[in-house]
Amino acid sequence: MTTPASAARSLREARLARIPRRPFTDTDPALDEAWGYRVQDLDRAGRLAAGERLVGAKLGLTSRAKQRTMGVAQPIVGFLTDAMQLGTGDDERVLGRTAQPRVEPEIAFRLARELDRPLTPWTAEQAVDAVTVAVEVIDSRYAAFGFRLPDVVADNTSAAGFLVGRWTHPRRAGDLATAGCVLSVDGAVAHTATGAAVLGHPLRALVHLSEHLVRRGERLPAGAVVLAGALTDAVPVRPGVVHRAEIRGLGAVELVPADR
């Protein structure tokens, strides 16, 4: 069986070389989700040792359709570091460090307090001091995004970058479950959805994250960013093109070419 340490090294090499590899489960079908998180832990430790700073967490497989496709009954969790934070004009940075980048619209939460205990749907909102629209850049280390559950968990749920909009108080955002979302590429609508695409309500992503952290004896500090999960399918990042996510009540955010 592929050891977590060797898998973490292989994924790091694939990321730095920008050359996708075969999924580990192609040769080791017995690998499981727990193995994937052991690999992810080693990846995170390596990044932090290299000077990156943990700034939050992200969820994947938050739509029921994607869960059915993967044969799982719950989302998966990855981590975010400051090296993944993007700004206006950073599309060239994205293209220069990824192999097959895609973007997807998300709802982002900022924690009001340390997340160190299980939340309920009723207490999740109290754990948030701000909410906004975000664009996440994903980039799988596996060719054509072909993987099974242990592979994508090991690959930190394909995390590559994120760009957040202007933070607003949750009470000013309205009902996040019914908020309409539009993902557009150079002004052309690519996908639409509502906040309910994330587990029926985006705050349920926080509930799942809190349970995940408690099981693993981990916590997130106040001020950490949490990406609740993709609202729509992802679209490939194209050079020189504006990728825009807009959510009613939260505004819009754009991944814009440097020369725009």
Instruction: Give the three-state DSSP class for 242.
Output: coil
Question: In the predicted model, is pLDDT for residue 24 greater than 60?
Answer: yes
Instruction: Give the three-state DSSP class for 158.
Output: helix
> Do 60 and 229 form a contact (C-beta atoms < 8 A)?
yes
> Do 102 and 136 form a contact (C-beta atoms < 8 A)?
no
Question: In the predicted model, is pLDDT for residue 21 greater than 70?
Answer: yes
> Do 183 and 105 form a contact (C-beta atoms < 8 A)?
yes
The average pLDDT across 13-37 equals 96
Range of lowest pLDDT (71-75, 101-105, 179-183, 192-196): 71-75
- Structure confidence at residue 65 as a pLDDT band (50, 70, 90): low
The average pLDDT across 99-107 equals 95
Show Cβ contacts of residue 211 under 8 Å, excluding neighbours closer than 6 positions: 118, 119
The average pLDDT across 76-88 equals 92
Q: What pLDDT shows up at residue 130?
A: 97
Residue 146, strand partner residues: none
Q: What pLDDT shows up at residue 30?
A: 96
Q: Which pair of structure tokens corresponds to residue 214?
A: 């408690």
CA distance 95 to 215: 36
Q: What is the DSSP letter of 207?
A: H
- Structure confidence at residue 239 as a pLDDT band (50, 70, 90): confident
Q: What are the structural domains of the chain?
A: 4-255 (3.90.850.10)
**How far from the centroid of its chain's Cα atoms is residue 180's Cα?**
20
Q: Is 189 exposed, middle or buried (0-12, 13-18, 19+ CB in 10 A)?
A: exposed
Q: What pLDDT shows up at residue 90?
A: 63
Beta pairing class for 54-60 and 225-230: parallel
| pLDDT tens string 30-53 | 999 999 999 999 999 999 999 999
Question: In the predicted model, is pLDDT for residue 69 greater than 90?
Answer: no
| pLDDT tens string 108-152 | 999 999 999 999 988 999 999 999 999 999 999 999 999 999 999
